[in-house]
Structure 1
Amino acid sequence: MYLNCHTYYSLRFGTFSEVDLLELAIKNNISTLALTDINNTSACLNFIRKAKEFHIKPIIGIDFRNGASQQFVGIAKNNDGFHELNVFLSEHSHQKKIIPNDAPNFKDVLVIYPFEKVLQNEKKQFKDYEFIGVSVEELKKLPFSVYKSYTEKLVIQQQVTIRNKKDFNAHRLLRAIDNNTLLSKLQISEECKITDKMLSLEDLEKAYVQYPQIIANTQNILNLCSIDFSFGKDRVTQNQKVYLESPEADYELLVKLCEDNLHNRYADLNDKVKERLQTELSTIRTMDFVSYFLINHDIISYSKRKGYIHVGRGSGANSIVAYIIGITDVDPIELDLYFERFINPFRASPPDFDIDFSWKDREDITQYIFNRFKHVALLATYNTFKYRGVVRELGKVFGLPKEEIDKLSDGHYTPESLDEMSTLVLKYGQLIRGFPNHLSVHSCGVLILDKPIHYYSATDLPPKGFPTIQFDMIIAEDVGVFKFDILGQRGLAKIKEAIEIIQYNRPELPPIDITQVETFKKDPKINDLLKRGKAIGAYYVESPAMRGLMQKLQTQDYLGLVAASSIIRPGVSDSGMKKEFIIRQRNPEKRKDANPILLEIMPETYGIMVYQEDVLKVANQFAGLTLGEADVLRRGMSGKFRSREEFMAVEEKFIKNCKEKGYADDLTFEVWNQIKSFAGYAFAKGHSASYAVESYQSLYLKCYFPLEFMVAVLNNGGGFYSAEHYIHEAKMCGGIVHPPCINHSEYENILKCTDIYLGFGYLKSLESLTIKRFLTDRNFNGAFKSLDDFIDRVVISIEQITILIRIDAFRFTQRSKTELLWEAIFKLNLSKQGTAQARLFKPKHRQFNLPSLTTTYIEEAYDQIELLGFPLCGYFDLVDETFQENLRASDMHKYINQNVLLYGVLVNTRFHKASNGKLLRFCTFVDQQGNYFDTVHFTKVVDIYPIHGMGVYACYGKITEEFDFCSLDIIWSKKVSLKQDPRSQ
């Protein structure tokens, strides 16, 4: 009997989830229920899925509103009706059109106009599918209305938005947040009614007892409507089913692609390759994944035609078919990749192909997909109310002062110190926390479907202009909609730009073939960079944790890097298996400590679970689970299905099977806990191998073209470290770094021989329009000859030219910055050129006799700190203290377990929560020679000796060593004072 129910996907309006709505229906003996969220379909598919568990017949629709004003409710009679509703809502959403008073000519939709709206508009004509909705509260008005005679058109419209007074209060707070107003100033027209709640079926029928025709009309609508999507085990893929005209043609094309490219990948064919290829092709065909492979191949082919670099990873990297046709560059034969991780007969979803492109190319790839395929949309994700955000929003709604809001959001309070208003903020903050706040775009998910996108959902149109559905990937997979992952990353952009810089600056060199990874893997110089932790700038291997791990492992080959990129993940690391892996890697005699069964299953990783495939192997071969059950475990590890009954059932069977096999409980639970510790963190081996391929490409460039590579790193937003540190690394590679120069620099950084000219883009206060003006003029009219020449040719304000002078961009004039500043002030203020057009004729400039003025290197450094964010001379040159006797990082290994003092410039700092809930700090510094040392600040010193921003620190502590890698356990630390800016004295 309920045709107008809301969930909290009626954003900033509803107060509970779609599951809560179904539970509410059960309590009130409701067996059929319509979900109609406001201008939103996010909850529809999950509502349909979950309704079966509650034995409730689901009906779905949309509550169409302009703001809080309800225009009408559309109820889908069937799937086609849902499609119509989605098309209508999407059109208005994309074009920012208001919802009209009258519904369009629907075919499979029933329309309900609210009684108050009908009265207001004096609507007299109703189509067959149009009705008037009357709430319990509005029944008292009906006898005095002209519409009492419209007996065939009247239906029950008891809106459901809240359950109780607490929900109503939360609803009002959400409405105040949405309207950005104080709660006391919220207009009643923006709220639902306190009566907009669900009554029991008995009470509802009693309310309408004098209007049996209304009850009958409502029941007829409920009987007319039916919606169906297949979920879970019953689902079928909704992705585009054929790439060409038929499944047979698709398979022929896939086989031909394999035959045409087989010899490019395998010069010496053997039976193992042939057998694996035939097995995969057969399985891919049987499971209807052929079009999925061909679509991915199509996308990759386009990117290659455009000259883009890509990396194919994910579970699909375990596939020899993907390797042969060029989707990935990981050889599953070389790495002995487990085929069942990629596809097994129990797997209902296609393999994951996470395809990385340069962040600069990704948008073009996405546009190509939308142009190339018929039914395409981006996947959504939900941005929810987080604690700090909720407290801040509610604080404003209640009118709390900023300092009180800051105190609450930062958690700096005691419960007894709070007044009534602050207590209410926290109370309702807990209630609203986790509610969806607004829809956003999934970071990489693209949907390519067989049916129109609006068959499943309405779409929004975010700023980038690609239609985006209104549900997330969990719901998508449940209904058989499997995403294509198209990602943008900076690592590939660095590689591409480094190659472009090399080709431009060194045209005498032959073109670089960055795909020759097999050669890179065997290069001792490249592998030495890994072993010594000298991979700064290289994708995925530059972080302090990876740098330390590779030194501990003494990583010096491809397979070692593949393992390292997986055991660094929290799943392996937190379970203690990382340390055990290092021990067994470095000490072959320790490998016999492994459980013999596990060692036989995973000989390559010494009986330790490192990859997701290992979970499949252990579950299948150790615990006797079927591959289908093992795959449930794998999916459960991702966190997506952790709470589902199927995962819990597999856990029970795992333990039961182990007992039947006679394993000791200690062994069983040790293995099971290792599996659980992987949750959401373990990599597929092929995934790690894909990362390793890209790392080797970066390392090749870093090894042989270090300056070109570091400039490319800087131009693409760096990576793990700050721009300042990458500039330091460029200097360590022999680069001479210059501040921006009017006649040499561009917007981005450029390299000329060994000279690196920083780009004008680093000057945050310099307007992009100003930069564009003088670069355009320089490109057309040649280099600037003097400050006067610049002023004559470029329209610029005194504020903007001051920035250029202070960063020493006019140093080619060989005049001091102070002289230039005075001259610019005289000339620009006199002519007011900042507001004038460029001059047709050059004016005659007056020359001023100024005293000889100089700028010290300290003043230079402080100008750079202010304008660039860091000094180019380095912080050690600015120190204003006498250093005590100290150690260099290169000598740490000689003083293990001794207390020593080191001085270093802070490179990176990060916190880690200990098991007791307290924080530890890990820092990385570089000493005066530019070498790294790492420090650990345990909980007892974290707060006593804080780290406050960039600069030089005195670090006193005890040197500890683990696997030949030294670090400093801090006893005390102190930031060293720097010379003052003489202009501030």
Structure 2
Amino acid sequence: MFLNAHSWFSFKYGLLKPEALLEEAAKAGVRSFALTDIHSTAGIPDFVRLAPEHGIRPVAGIEFRQGSQVLYIGLARNNDGFRQLNQLLSPHLLDGHLLSPSAPQSPCALRSTASLMLGMTAGEAFFILPLATPPRELHANEFIGVRPAELTRLPFSPWMKQPAKLVAWLPVTFPQATRPVPFNTHRLLRTMAHNTLLSQVPSEELAAPDEHFRTPGEVRHLYRDFPQLLRNAERLLEQCSIAFDGSDKTPKVFGSSAAADREQLHLLAREGLHRRYVRLAPTALARLQHELEVIERMGFISYFLINHDIVRYAQSRGFFHVGRGSGANSLVAYCLGITDVDPIELNLYFERFISTARKKPPDFDIDFSWKDRDEVFRYIFDKYNGPFGSAQGAGTSGIHAAQVATYTTFQWRGAVRELGKALGLPPAEIDALSEGRSYYGGGRPSELVRSGHADRVATAVVRYAQRIIGMPHQFGIHVGGILVSEEPITSYSALHRPPKGFPVVQFSLLEAEDLGLHKFDILSQRGLGHIRDAVELVGGMARPEGDQGACTVDPMGRPNRRPVASGEAAIDIHAIPRFKQDPAIKQLLRTGDTVGCFYVESPAMRMLLKKLRVEDYLTLVAASSIIRPGVAESGMMREYILRHNDPERVRRAPKELLEIMPDTYGVMVYQEDVLKVAHHYAGLSLEEADILRRGMTARFRERPEFKAVEEKFFSNCKAMGRPDEQAREVWRQIESFASFSFAKGHSASYAVESYQSLWLKAHYPLEFLVAVANNFGGFYSTEFYLHEAKRHGAVIEAPCVNVSGELCVLRRSKDQKIRRSDNQKIRRSDDRKMEMTGGAEMDRSTCTVDPLGRRDRCDHAPPAIPAKPRIFLGLANIKSLNDETVRLILRERERHGPFTGLEDLLHRVPLPLEQARILIRAGALRFTGRSKPELLWDLTLLHTGKEAAAAGRCQGDFFITKVEEPVLPELHHYPLADAYDELELLGFPLCDPFSLVEGGSDDQTIRRSENGRNAILQREMHQYIGKRVTMLGYMVHVKSTTTTHGQRMTFGSFIDTAGDLWDSTQFPAVAARHPFRGRGVYRLTGVVEEEFGHCALRTQSVEKLPWKPDPRYGER
């Protein structure tokens, strides 16, 4: 009877999640119904999984529409029918092919070439067509649906001549309700879907208000004059079934046969073992054999070979990668080169990755550079789907790989904004409500609603927002998950295509696991881009002291960098064992001098490194995990720090936990610790312990199996004599891991990448920092990576059309070599002055003359002292310069050489006037030797002359009057104006920011000025512990957090006048009284506090210091 139910996966249409639909059906006494969301199969996996718990036999289907018009309802007779429905819908969602207006049966009924490949056979799927369908002979699997409202017209319909083809059609969209709230919510959702006002939504876009489940008696009463329609509908439902067994769906064979796969995996593993270990220990060989046996027994051989194939392809292209996650616990993965973490060295728990006690499949996380990841994606999809540029060719039946979806849900701000627009609220009121305040003042919106002081429309917005929060409204894409299946992926889902261009299933990772589909995580990050680009930049430079060089490939056969040209020195960026012993790296870690380095550069991480005095790999691995929210917010990070620094505190730790986790002082730090504690402390089986680990995700916690394990945890603890208070504390710690704690292997993988970054910073700091700035993905902005480069001896130059690339460029003089001295801080006062060198030392070619008889470029004598390395900002760093302008300048310079002056640039590159002005104001033409005001005048005259010449060509020479060259007044140039141009066009000044504050000509002057008030420096803080001091700081970063009492506090990071980073803490009272007001220079007063060697300022007052007046607007 109920052949057409909608869940909330009919986005902005349905209201109920699949489980709620099942509950509604069970209450009404319904024993079978079909879930048929509009162009969506997202709800089917959960619907099929949960239906038996409610005593309901599920039927899977899809509602096909053209706009608001229902074309037909497809019902899957079985799993083959479900696949065919997905194959019918997917070309439409992937490539926009039109759906057939009639149910597909034969090639002549299908509109697109792609649909010819469907091979549909009558009987695998049923189709329900609307009563308004024009009369024709129906096929065996076609039926006409009759809604209750159409029963009065049925006797006059030509379809009465085929009574066996008529079925009762009762759509379901709403829960049963005595009030119209569900229907009103539906109306608002439809309004959002059409981006219009509630009053303008056409009635045909809405479901009927009575679309809810009815009891069998109510249904029989509705169709009392046509009982055969009910019997026909029941017969249809009885013929339909759907089931998913949850078994492994990964391709069973990678190569020619299962035996060949086994032999290949064993060969690769043994070869890798001998490469990885110079001295092969019996324990390594025994563990390898054990892992291979488990992998074979669990049926994961092809899974490992697929991952190895992905990595092999990446290596062949010179792409760097990091294998992380629990996959790093596997020695086989280490030997295959999938990971760089030695699981024997870290005593990693293989069963955390693969265990016979676990039913769920494992998954590798493999990171690539953000520049390379799409190429790896393309390889995977081409390999398993063929050249799938469209849904043609092999058709959707040939697709075996797709990305995993996510669901984007309504949250407060988005819900309020959408509802406010739908109800016609003005933008100011919408902004106020979305920010959690009332436009008219007087408290939060929810409080005003409860008190009755809010107006009717605002009340409606707040109340309906609360109803739709958490409701999905569109598909998203998992950050890197790819599914590869033995059967066509359409056996489990319809496919859609987002802008990236790769097919995506319509369910999330949780449903994929339920179906038995393995996820391959192919992720991207900027850190690998930093490393790869830095290695590229180092090419041709001298090696640092102690570096003996290396071949161009590492022991696993991976390229360390691009092919080495003649005369270049290769570096081995994969020499991790050597990096772990490098004294320079230990110094960076111990002092927290890690800005730019992967995963260890944030203020919180730098603070943690100093408190733990990190010098070795194992402590860095632990630090990489305890910094995560799950550990940090539970208090376990602080406990770990205390025990790390105080052996006596370790001796006082609970003995039971200390025995389980001796390496981490009895503190839960890694996800494996949950398994260990649950198994050894609470007596749970490994399978039950793994349910706890999976329960770290909020969605899984709702499942009955998790709740059952939670109850068993406490009952077992009681039976084992664990103290109640201690058991509750252990459970609280386990719960805290919901906030993304790491597996130990994952932390170890991050630590390996951190070592690679640290080695580059320790020995090639300028190349490394340029690479970081050019990848736009570190914790800080480009400005502060350039500041760090200044600390290492570089001069930062504004962009230049003759030197800059799209991104930053490092220039050294020919005789410059990388020396250890480059790694020393530069604190000379003349480096701090506001100097705009303009690249003069770089450009010493002969002068040319512009059309006004003035010099375009000035000769410069060679400097008396060797020039420092220079970093020229890229043209893309200029905010208002468009991509096309950058492309044209670089292409012209590459083809025909540097520009000789402004006129030459304008002659060779078709620049709009405003783009040329931006280049001048950014300092990109300073090589001409002319000031910005002079260049701007030149630009105006050249542009006017160009227009006059164009007019002369149109009018003839007779009308041209020779204009005398104007005599220009003296044009003053103010260096301070350059700083304001840079603030506007680059986002930050290239001069010392403290020089922009009154009294800030140099370090000593500003600190002793009225603004400085004898401020101390970061390096002096240890002399003032417990004392009240004043400090000056240029804001680097501010983080806000909420205390357990719901109050806001902030943590600040600043650069002092000597260029060193320091930290501040603003507790709630101070944060409320003295909020930060954006970027700039601040004067902070407070008390210096020290903990385990790290000093910070507990702030008592904050004041932002004003800049000097902007001379561009007549204020000098």
From 654, 659, 666, give the equivalent of 1:607.
666
Q: Conserved in 2, the CA contact under 8 Å of 1:955 and 1:972?
A: yes
- Structure 2 counterpart of 1:396: 421
Q: Conserved in 2, the CA contact under 8 Å of 1:819 and 1:850?
A: no
Identity across the alignment (%): 47
Matches within 5 A, 1:274-285: 274-285=285-296
For each residue in 1:221-273, what CA deviation from the matched residue of structure 2 results, as whole angstroms up to 9, or x when unmatched?
0111111112xxxx211122221233322211110101122111111111211
Residues of 1 paired with 2:583 and 2:1063: CA distance?
Answer: 26
- Structure 2 counterpart of 1:452: 488
- Structure 1 counterpart of 2:656: 597
Which one is further off, 955-964 or 313-322? 955-964
- Structure 2 counterpart of 1:876: 994
Residues of 2 paired with 1:623 and 1:157: CA distance?
Answer: 53
Residues of 1 paired with 2:965 and 2:482: CA distance?
Answer: 63
For each residue in 1:437-460, what CA deviation from the matched residue of structure 2 results, as whole angstroms up to 9, or x when unmatched?
111211111001011011100000
Shift of 1:834: 13
Amino acid at match of 1:810: L
- Structure 2 counterpart of 1:619: 678
- Structure 1 counterpart of 2:203: 188
From 370, 374, 382, give the equivalent of 1:363.
374
- Structure 2 counterpart of 1:631: 690
Residues of 1 paired with 2:932 and 2:538: CA distance?
Answer: 34
- Structure 2 counterpart of 1:173: 188
Amino acid at match of 1:941: V
Q: Conserved in 2, the CA contact under 8 Å of 1:795 and 1:833?
A: no
**1:530–1:101 distance in 2 versus 1, CA, 3 Å:** same
- Structure 1 counterpart of 2:1085: 956
Matches within 5 A, 1:270-309: 270-309=281-320
Shift of 1:325: 0.9
- Structure 1 counterpart of 2:969: 851
Shift of 1:849: 4.6
**1:345–1:314 distance in 2 versus 1, CA, 3 Å:** same
Amino acid at match of 2:1081: V
- Structure 2 counterpart of 1:145: 157
Q: Conserved in 1, the CA contact under 8 Å of 2:271 and 2:335?
A: no
The DSSP-based 3-state class of the residue aligned with 2:898 is coil
From 578, 583, 598, give the equivalent of 1:524.
583
For each residue in 1:846-867, what CA deviation from the matched residue of structure 2 results, as whole angstroms up to 9, or x when unmatched?
9765333232121000000010
- Structure 2 counterpart of 1:797: 912
- Structure 2 counterpart of 1:841: none
Matches within 5 A, 1:907-918: 907-918=1036-1047
Q: Conserved in 2, the CA contact under 8 Å of 1:494 and 1:712?
A: yes
Matches within 5 A, 1:564-603: 564-603=623-662
Work out whether 1:473 is the aligned partner of 2:509: yes
- Structure 2 counterpart of 1:866: 984
Residues of 1 paired with 2:907 and 2:630: CA distance?
Answer: 63
Q: Which sections of structure 1, spanning at least 5 residues, go unmatched?
A: 837-843
Q: Conserved in 2, the CA contact under 8 Å of 1:22 and 1:54?
A: yes
**1:913–1:418 distance in 2 versus 1, CA, 3 Å:** same
- Structure 2 counterpart of 1:438: 474
For each residue in 1:86-123, what CA deviation from the matched residue of structure 2 results, as whole angstroms up to 9, or x when unmatched?
011111112213333211114211111111x31xxx23
The DSSP-based 3-state class of the residue aligned with 1:460 is coil
Matches within 5 A, 1:499-518: 499-503=535-539, 508-518=567-577
Amino acid at match of 1:870: F
Amino acid at match of 1:825: T
For each residue in 1:882-940, what CA deviation from the matched residue of structure 2 results, as whole angstroms up to 9, or x when unmatched?
32111111111111111110000000001110010011011000100111111111111
Which one is further off, 653-662 or 895-904? 653-662
- Structure 2 counterpart of 1:134: 146
**1:144–1:252 distance in 2 versus 1, CA, 3 Å:** same
Matches within 5 A, 1:250-329: 250-329=261-340
Q: Conserved in 1, the CA contact under 8 Å of 2:1083 and 2:1105?
A: yes
For each residue in 1:713-762, what CA deviation from the matched residue of structure 2 results, as whole angstroms up to 9, or x when unmatched?
01100411111111111111111110000110011111111110000111
- Structure 2 counterpart of 1:64: 64
- Structure 1 counterpart of 2:407: 382
Which one is further off, 685-694 or 564-573? 564-573
Residues of 2 paired with 1:170 and 1:639: CA distance?
Answer: 26
- Structure 2 counterpart of 1:786: 901
- Structure 2 counterpart of 1:406: 431
**1:505–1:964 distance in 2 versus 1, CA, 3 Å:** closer
Q: Conserved in 1, the CA contact under 8 Å of 2:329 and 2:343?
A: yes
From 815, 820, 824, give the equivalent of 2:939.
824
Shift of 1:391: 0.7
Shift of 1:274: 1.3
Residues of 2 paired with 1:50 and 1:856: CA distance?
Answer: 73
From 222, 239, 258, give the equivalent of 1:224.
239
Which one is further off, 170-179 or 848-857? 848-857
Residues of 1 paired with 2:268 and 2:604: CA distance?
Answer: 41
- Structure 1 counterpart of 2:596: 537
Amino acid at match of 2:437: H
For each residue in 1:146-183, what CA deviation from the matched residue of structure 2 results, as whole angstroms up to 9, or x when unmatched?
22222011001111112342111111111111111111
Q: Conserved in 2, the CA contact under 8 Å of 1:380 and 1:440?
A: yes
For each residue in 1:761-800, what CA deviation from the matched residue of structure 2 results, as whole angstroms up to 9, or x when unmatched?
1112112111211211111111111112112211112111
Q: Conserved in 1, the CA contact under 8 Å of 2:540 and 2:568?
A: no
Q: How many pairs are equivalent?
A: 970
Residues of 2 paired with 1:186 and 1:342: CA distance?
Answer: 52
Q: Conserved in 2, the CA contact under 8 Å of 1:823 and 1:848?
A: no
Residues of 2 paired with 1:254 and 1:280: CA distance?
Answer: 11
Q: Conserved in 2, the CA contact under 8 Å of 1:497 and 1:712?
A: yes
Shift of 1:586: 1.8
Q: Conserved in 1, the CA contact under 8 Å of 2:362 and 2:518?
A: no
Work out whether 1:757 is the aligned partner of 2:872: yes
Residues of 2 paired with 1:909 and 1:799: CA distance?
Answer: 35
Residues of 2 paired with 1:847 and 1:463: CA distance?
Answer: 55
The DSSP-based 3-state class of the residue aligned with 2:507 is coil
Q: Conserved in 1, the CA contact under 8 Å of 2:541 and 2:569?
A: no
Which one is further off, 536-545 or 666-675? 666-675
Shift of 1:504: 5.6
Work out whether 1:427 is the aligned partner of 2:463: yes
Q: Conserved in 2, the CA contact under 8 Å of 1:113 and 1:131?
A: yes
Residues of 1 paired with 2:157 and 2:318: CA distance?
Answer: 70
Which one is further off, 123-132 or 408-417? 408-417
- Structure 2 counterpart of 1:840: none
Work out whether 1:418 is the aligned partner of 2:454: yes
Residues of 1 paired with 2:525 and 2:243: CA distance?
Answer: 39
Residues of 1 paired with 2:947 and 2:316: CA distance?
Answer: 52
Shift of 1:655: 2.1
- Structure 2 counterpart of 1:716: 775
The DSSP-based 3-state class of the residue aligned with 1:929 is coil
Instruction: Give the TM-score, by structure 2 length.
Output: 0.85
- Structure 2 counterpart of 1:5: 5
Shift of 1:354: 0.6
For each residue in 1:253-307, what CA deviation from the matched residue of structure 2 results, as whole angstroms up to 9, or x when unmatched?
1101011221111111112111111111111111111111111000000000000
Q: Conserved in 2, the CA contact under 8 Å of 1:277 and 1:321?
A: yes
Amino acid at match of 1:850: L
Q: Conserved in 1, the CA contact under 8 Å of 2:541 and 2:568?
A: no
Q: Conserved in 1, the CA contact under 8 Å of 2:411 and 2:469?
A: yes
Which one is further off, 882-891 or 325-334? 882-891
For each residue in 1:330-357, what CA deviation from the matched residue of structure 2 results, as whole angstroms up to 9, or x when unmatched?
0011001112212221112232311000
Which one is further off, 890-899 or 246-255? 246-255
Q: Which sections of structure 2, spanning at least 5 residues, go unmatched?
A: 106-119, 386-399, 543-564, 813-868, 952-961, 1000-1008
Amino acid at match of 1:52: P
Q: Conserved in 2, the CA contact under 8 Å of 1:828 and 1:834?
A: no
Instruction: Give the TM-score, by structure 1 length.
Output: 0.97
The DSSP-based 3-state class of the residue aligned with 2:171 is coil
Shift of 1:845: 13
